[in-house]
């Protein structure tokens, strides 16, 4: 996140300093917010200051918007604490850390069915956005080398993807001067299809991005069908266009709960601790809860499901058409009402071409139990009762931003 330097001249005095309530316990002066304090303080006071401010954050365990894991076993947390002081890039100084990274690459390569007779290359990244940048660069450079070998200009590369892609792909095309070709969605088709993808491809297409788990509704894009369509395109027109599978959401889910899905392709502690059986049990439990919760939400009355968690343990819903005209609330209101109970359940407008559709989405992760699902349902029923008791309530047409799409 990019932050701007605060102009202290524009702030009232009370907004430039922290005023802790622990003065009698070791601190007897205000602390500047945006400047380095002149004097230090006791470690327990510094900890308490920061700890108390962080209490104002939302509860991560109740954050049903994020795809980020919000629970880990204490032993995994301990290992992370014990390795905070290691810079993993220093392979010579920390050879065993490098070896553990290598083992993780091998484990994932086999999990995703990388052919044994071929060399598989992988690396750890700080997140899926960095992974997208690296893979996108590889697509561009391979395309450029191919065009140069044919004596053709390589000045106007393009990348084909559904408009439902994660925002990091928009950034990639901007940073690396690539034309983004966004395939629009339609009613009842909220992700990329093989037929539509092919329409946007030409000899300057460096690749097609297919998503294994859309962040908008959790559905899988038809990767096998897209690949077959690209093979036909190559046979007919000689265009050799590769696929990049963006599996940031589903790459560590699908192998365990959809092992028969074709073209499906943490830490070392978790690999050792859980194994295939452990991960399978975790992901199946998450999916069972997602299917249960989506079914119960559909039974509440005013909602209809877009997805139910059959792909990823992620699902989305909308207000029924009749309800949209007759109710005094929108899903933005429902999202806001659930925040009063600590729940972070995003409501958002779908991408271009379906901008009249407002949906809510839930991501079920380890740590979200059946009991918590029932409590969420209780709070949703209470929210519906609240709106029913407020006939003069004005529906919201927009809401708080969630950066998980």
Q: What is the DSSP string of 218-263?
A: -PBP-HHHHHHHHHHHHHHH-----EEEE-TTTTTTHHHH-TT-TT
53 backbone φψ class: left, alpha, beta (φ>0; ψ -120 to 50): alpha
Domains and CATH numbers, the chain: 8-57 (no CATH), 124-257 (3.40.640.10), 286-388 (3.90.1150.160)
In this prediction, residue 265 carries a pLDDT of 33
Please, where are the H alpha helices in 112-189?
Answer: 128-149, 167-175
Q: Per-residue b/e over 43-71, b at no fewer than 16 CB within 10 Å?
A: eebeebbeeeeeeeeeeeebbbbbbeebe
What the block records as the tokens of 381 is: 């029923």
In this prediction, residue 386 carries a pLDDT of 95
**CB under 8 Å, gap of 24 or more: what pairs does 136-145 form?**
136/169, 136/172, 136/173, 136/176, 136/178, 136/206, 136/207, 136/244, 137/176, 139/206, 139/207, 139/242, 139/244, 140/176, 140/178, 140/206, 142/206, 142/242, 143/204, 143/205, 143/206, 143/207
Query: Tens-of-pLDDT digits for all 405 residues of the chain?
Result: 677 777 777 777 656 666 555 554 445 567 788 888 887 777 888 888 888 888 888 888 888 888 888 888 888 888 888 888 888 888 888 888 888 888 888 888 888 878 887 788 888 888 889 999 999 999 999 999 999 999 999 999 999 999 999 999 999 999 999 999 999 988 888 899 999 999 999 999 999 999 998 888 888 999 999 999 999 999 999 999 999 999 888 887 877 777 766 543 345 667 777 788 888 888 999 999 999 999 999 999 999 999 999 999 999 999 997 666 778 999 999 999 999 999 999 999 998 888 889 999 999 999 899 999 999 999 999 999 999 998 888 888 776 555 555
User: Which residues, including other chains, have CB under 8 Å from residue 63's CB and lie 6 or more apart?
Assistant: 70, 344
- Rounded CA-CA distance 371/62 in Å is 13
In this prediction, residue 69 carries a pLDDT of 81
Closest CA to 211 of 168, 267, 251: 251
What the block records as the tokens of 312 is: 């990823």
**CB under 8 Å, gap of 24 or more: what pairs does 224-233 form?**
224/262, 224/263, 225/193, 225/194, 226/192, 226/193, 226/194, 226/197, 227/263, 228/194, 229/194, 229/195, 229/197, 229/198, 230/197, 230/198, 230/201, 233/198, 233/201
Q: For residue 278, what is the DSSP state?
A: H
Confirm if 306 and 316 have CB atoms less than 8 A apart. Answer: yes
In this prediction, residue 160 carries a pLDDT of 98
Confirm if 65 and 344 have CB atoms less than 8 A apart. Answer: yes
In this prediction, residue 14 carries a pLDDT of 57
**Residue matched to tokens 């070392």:** 268
- Rounded CA-CA distance 362/346 in Å is 8
What the block records as the tokens of 382 is: 């209470």
In this prediction, residue 196 carries a pLDDT of 95
Would you say the C-alpha torsion 190, 192, 193, 195 has a positive or negative sign?
positive
């Amino acid at each position: 996140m990019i932050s701007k330097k605060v102009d202290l001249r524009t702030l009232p005095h009370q907004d430039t300093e922290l005023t802790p309530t622990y003065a009698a316990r070791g601190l007897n002066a205000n602390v500047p917010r945006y400047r380095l304090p002149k004097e230090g303080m006791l470690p327990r006071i510094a900890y308490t200051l920061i700890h108390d401010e962080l209490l104002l954050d939302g509860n991560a365990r109740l954050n049903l918007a994020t795809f980020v894991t919000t629970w880990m076993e204490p032993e995994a947390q301990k290992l992370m604490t014990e390795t905070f002081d290691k810079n993993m890039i220093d392979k010579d100084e920390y050879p065993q850390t490098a070896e553990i990274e290598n083992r993780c690459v091998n484990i994932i390569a086999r999990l995703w069915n990388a052919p044994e007779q071929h060399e598989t290359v992988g690396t750890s990244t700080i997140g899926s956005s960095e992974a997208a940048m690296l893979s996108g660069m590889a697509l561009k450079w391979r395309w450029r080398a191919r065009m140069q070998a044919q004596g053709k200009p390589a000045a106007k590369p393009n990348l084909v993807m559904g408009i439902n892609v994660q925002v990091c792909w928009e950034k990639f095309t901007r940073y690396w001067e690539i034309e983004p070709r966004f395939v629009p969605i339609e009613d009842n088709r909220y992700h990329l299809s093989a037929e539509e993808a092919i329409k946007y491809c030409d000899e300057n297409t460096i690749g097609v991005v297919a998503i294994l788990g859309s962040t908008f509704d959790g559905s899988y894009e038809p990767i096998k069908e897209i690949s077959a369509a690209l093979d036909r395109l190559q046979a007919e027109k000689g265009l050799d266009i590769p696929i990049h599978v963006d599996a940031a959401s589903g790459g560590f889910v699908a192998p365990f709960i959809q092992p028969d899905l074709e073209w499906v392709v943490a830490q070392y502690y978790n690999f050792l601790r859980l194994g295939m059986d452990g991960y399978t049990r975790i992901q199946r439990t998450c999916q069972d809860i997602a299917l249960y919760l989506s079914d119960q939400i559909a039974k509440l009355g005013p909602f209809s499901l877009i997805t139910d968690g059959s792909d990823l343990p992620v699902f989305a819903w909308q207000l029924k058409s009749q309800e949209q005209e007759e109710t005094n609330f929108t899903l933005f209101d429902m999202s806001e009402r659930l925040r009063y109970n600590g729940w972070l359940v995003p409501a958002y407008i779908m991408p271009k071409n379906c901008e009249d559709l407002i949906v809510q989405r839930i991501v079920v992760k380890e740590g979200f139990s059946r009991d918590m699902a029932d409590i969420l349902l209780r709070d949703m029923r209470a929210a519906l009762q609240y709106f029913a008791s407020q006939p003069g309530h004005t529906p919201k047409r927009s809401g708080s931003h969630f950066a998980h799409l």
